[in-house]
Amino acid sequence: MFVLSISSLKGGVGKTTVTLGLASAAWARGLRTLVVDLDPQSDVSTGLDARAQDGATISDVLRSPKPSTVRAAIARSAWGEGSRGVIDLMVGSPAALSFDTPNPSIREIWRLEEALAVVEEDYDLVLIDCPPSLNALTRTAWAASDRVAVVTEPGLFSVAAADRALRAVDEIRRELSPRLQPLGIIVNRAKHQSLEHQFRLGELRDMFGPLVLSPALPERTSLQQAQGAAKPVHLWPGSSAEEMAANFDKLLDRIMRAGRLGTYAEAPATGDDEAPVTRGRQRGRSNT
Ligand SMILES: Nc1ncnc2c1ncn2[C@@H]1O[C@H](COP(=O)(O)OP(=O)(O)OP(=O)(O)O)[C@@H](O)[C@H]1O
Ligand SMILES: [Mg+2]
């Protein structure tokens, strides 16, 4: 099971959109995927069209990650009804806000890792949609993750926020979880005809080199339409949705390479590839 956090320290740049797009690509590819809605706004829960049957949510899991609670907080997305892969959701809740404190204890930070250990055998991929801050919830997500994808727009303040996020990932890796690494930066809402965006894309590549992932995602209303209808973009009609589905497929290829998932057989990885991910929950746990 490979765990990826989708993060940014800036709001509204496309974390949930990227989570839903990657979930759609994983679903289309037949992976067993769990999406964790760690954002109290719970947008990804809406986009996946899933509701926990007995009302349990991520907030109950963070209070007490017992196996029965973890399983009760997981619901099947309506996406899964038409075969292909499995998409499940650890249901989000506004009540998760009470866990987003600035100074969490070590025990609190490892709660999601403990919860995911319960379902280690059930999924190939876990995608965590994070809130836009570096408080307890994001740190809880990172402690449970193998990699972090940082989402940014090609604008001045967003580039600075991406830099802060990568530094924060580095800090958490050094202080808390040695297995944590950045997957890279996903650039969203790129307008290729905008000179400002071209400049910022160049700036990102100068600053972060191969950590800037390809392709950059353009702005497309088909994404908003698929989200509004709570459908995977891979099922949405039209050439624009097809283009976005292909973009998310390519980003998923990169994730599968990082996680050595399935029978992935693409061109050999480039120099930006990392060491293989070690398997087994709780392996990165440190109580220091
Ligand atoms: N590439 C895109 N093309 C078109 N619309 C987009 C794109 N990316 C994001 N959006 C839209 O922009 C809005 C904000 O995106 P999203 O909710 O994914 O951001 P977020 O980072 O999750 O926000 P928050 O920080 O509030 O959780 C949404 O309405 C979404 O549909
Ligand atoms: Mg969001």
pTM higher than 0.85, yes or no? yes
As a whole number, the mean pLDDT across the chain is 89
Ligand 1 closest atom vs CA 227: 31
Would 108 be classed as within a structural domain? yes
For residue 285, the model assigns a pLDDT of 54
Would 60 be classed as within a structural domain? yes
For residue 174, the model assigns a pLDDT of 95
Which residue type sits at 100? D
Give the confidence band of 280 by pLDDT, cuts at 50, 70, 90: very low
Which residue type sits at 147? R
Would 276 be classed as within a structural domain? no
Please report which helix (H) or strand (E) contains residue 3, including its range. strand 2-7
- Mean of pLDDT values over 34-52: 91
Would 24 be classed as within a structural domain? yes
Would 181 be classed as within a structural domain? no
Quick check: CB of 24 below 6 Å from ligand 1?
no
Structural domain of residue 251, as residue ranges?
2-147+218-264
For residue 79, the model assigns a pLDDT of 85
**CATH code of the domain containing 30:** 3.40.50.300
Quick check: CB of 43 below 6 Å from ligand 1?
yes
For residue 82, the model assigns a pLDDT of 60
CA dihedral (173, 179, 183, 185) in degrees, to 10, reads -10
Q: From 6, 8, 10, 16, give the residue whose CB has the most ligand 1 atoms within 8 Å, as the site to mutate.
A: 16
For residue 281, the model assigns a pLDDT of 52
Would 129 be classed as within a structural domain? yes
Give the confidence band of 261 by pLDDT, cuts at 50, 70, 90: confident
Would 189 be classed as within a structural domain? no
For the chain, the domain total comes to 1
Distance from the CA of 12 to the center of ligand 1, in angstroms?
5
Quick check: CB of 39 below 6 Å from ligand 1?
yes
CB-based contacts of 209: which residues, under 8 Å, 6+ apart?
272
Residue-wise pLDDT for 134-192, tens only, equals 999 999 999 999 999 999 999 888 888 999 999 999 999 999 999 999 999 999 999 98
- State the Cα–Cα distance between residues 39 and 131, nearest whole angstrom: 4
Would 279 be classed as within a structural domain? no
